[in-house]
Copies of this chain bind each other. A is one copy, B any other.
Amino acid sequence: MEGIPERLAAKPSWLITQLATHARRLSAAGHEDARAGAYHYRILAALREFGAQSQADLGRRGNLDRSDVVAALNELAASGCIERTPDPADRRRNLVRLTDAGVDQLHRMDRSLDRVQDELLGPLSADERATLTGLLTRLLAHHRTS
């Protein structure tokens, strides 16, 4: 079987979306023991690095829709990873706080995600990995601000 149509193989948008599918597959496999998905990781990461904050802030920092934050927080609360308390300073908001169990969960996911990066970048040298992440970071910053 001859390979993939040139029209596809030559398009960066094809390369990126196809590689993203592989990245998702690898991440899902890495997370299967943690029983958590990408949304949960983004939230735990934002909580760890920026401290207790509102659900809206979590959504902005992790690039999540407010409604998706709600669902993910429900699951994280059910497994004891976070706690929701009304913000006394602004009664519209919930203050979301990371529990010790949440920190443990984050570290577990960190370790499996580190392994995932290695599988994902497979054949690339350290220099090439740095070049790639540099280019991707610039592109992402461009699309985030424009």
Contacts of A13 in B (CB 8 A): 23, 26-27, 113, 116-117, 120
Q: Is A88 at the interface (CB under 8 A from chain B)?
A: no
Q: Is the interface of A mostly helix, strand, loop or mixed?
A: helix
How many A residues have CB within 8 A of the partner chain? 60
Could you say how many copies of this chain the assembly holds? 2
Contact of A45 among B8, B38, B120 (CB under 8 A): B8
Chain B residue with Cβ nearest A9: B137
The minimal Cβ–Cβ distance linking A60 to chain B, given in whole angstroms, is 6
Contacts of A18 in B (CB 8 A): 63, 140
6 A-B contact pairs sorted by A residue (CB < 8 Å): A6-B49, A8-B62, A11-B113, A13-B120, A120-B139, A123-B139
